[in-house]
Amino acid sequence: NLFLTFAKKASAFNSWFENAEEDLTDPVRCNSLEEIRALREAHDAFHSSLSSAQADFSQLPELDHQIKSFRVASNPYTWFTMEALEETWRNLQKIIKEWELELQKEQRRQEENDKLRQEFAQHANAFHQWIQETRTYLLDGSCMVEESGTLKSQLEATKRKHQEIRAMRSQLKKTEDLGAAMEEALILDNKYTEHSTVGLAQQWDQLDQLGMRMQHNLEQQIQARNTTGVTEEALKEFSRMFKHFDKDKSGRLNHQEFKSCLRSLGYDLPMVEDGERDPEFEAILDTVDPNRDGHVSLQEYMAFMISRETENVKSSEEIESAFRALSSKGKPYMTKEELYQNLTREQADYCVSYMKPYVDGKGHELPTAFDYVEFTRSLFVN
């Protein structure tokens, strides 16, 4: 039956067209190159079905011609006419061309977006690496001009590094500008980097503050050296020990790291079980971490060590002055006879056992003379 065959083929073609029209009139909007590539691949697959549909459509005019030869008013099996179907086919060709133009535009947009992602990532990754290296440089003491460097030279190196940190703010501005361009282009993800402008700005600010704290800490040490008598060697040793126990390079120690650091510096802190109170250590924490935030900064640590060392220096000087007062004419040594005349036997025995013989400026060792200056200072250092 020609009428029924035409009706079935026309209905099948129209159903295929409606599905194709729905797909081809959706907005072409993607979020990545991968998405636009997938869309183009789907369009290529559509072209395969288009060839099949065109073959089916090409059969309809001949069927329509045969039906018209019967001179009937209409096809009782369908309302589709050949004229309507041909108009549908022409519309489809127009929609396909418009869709392909949209695909090309979106392809170019995604290529530009991907270039923007890569440019942002290049700047962001480089800036983050610089932040990490600079932080390590400051916290590891690489800027401290080796261990023989003076506090003054360390301070100068730290100031230069801090100036570099301030100058790098312009590089962050470039990254922020690229980030703003990405936001304007509605780019919400970036597979080339894990860094954001907000995160990098926060890290730069923290690095800037670290540089200022390092400067202040060194100025604090120089002031302590100049005003309290704490030796530069002692200050450098305190700093080295802090950095040794600051395993994560955070610029602060947790309480356990701080306790280990103190023990390494000669503090005789008792060993306690987990959960057991440690009154002696808690008394120290009352000074360095009174609000119990769980951490001790380098500045807090150095202030504590300087205060303790200042107490030792004062005590050392007092004992040295006492020995000098006991020695005849304030000599820098005491004879064995003077020790036993002025001290208890137990005290004199201890001094004779541990005091080194006194050596004068010419390198001559004086008989029965003991160097109380060296003894006192070594006692407090240890």
For 88-121, the DSSP string reads HHHHHHHHHHHHHHHHHHHHHHHHHHHHHHHHHH
- Residue 119 tokens read as 């440019």
Q: How far from the centroid of its chain's Cα atoms is residue 359's Cα?
A: 56
User: Quick check: 377 pLDDT over 80?
Assistant: no
pLDDT of residue 238: 84
Phi first, then psi: what are they for 367, rounded to 5°?
A: -65, 140
Let me know: does 3 contact 75? Beta carbons within 8 Å: yes
- According to CATH, the topology of domain 120-224 is Methane Monooxygenase Hydroxylase; Chain G, domain 1 (1.20.58)
From the candidate CATH numbers 3.10.20.600, 3.40.50.300, 1.20.58.60, 3.40.50.150, the one assigned to the domain spanning 1-115: 1.20.58.60
Domain boundaries for CATH 1.20.58.60 within the chain: 1-115, 120-224
**pLDDT per residue as tens digits for the range 172-228:** 999 999 999 999 999 989 999 999 999 999 999 999 999 998 898 888 888 877 766
292: three-class secondary structure by DSSP: coil
Mean pLDDT, rounded, for 256-273 = 84
Which one, of 95, 5, 104, 6, lies nearest residue 46 by Cα?
95
pLDDT of residue 297: 86
**pLDDT per residue as tens digits for the range 74-127:** 888 888 889 998 999 899 889 999 999 999 999 999 999 999 999 999 999 999
User: Model's pTM, two decimal places?
Assistant: 0.59
pLDDT of residue 147: 46
From the candidate CATH numbers 1.10.238.10, 1.10.630.10, 3.90.70.10, 1.10.287.70, the one assigned to the domain spanning 229-310: 1.10.238.10
353: three-class secondary structure by DSSP: helix
At 312, is the pLDDT very low, low, confident or very high (cuts 50, 70, 90)? low
Pick from 50-54, 67-71, 270-274: least confident: 270-274
Share the mean pLDDT of the chain: 86
Mean pLDDT, rounded, for 264-273 = 81
Domain boundaries for CATH 1.10.238.10 within the chain: 229-310, 316-380
The CATH superfamily assigned to 316-380 is EF-hand (1.10.238.10)
* Maximum CA extent, the chain: 149
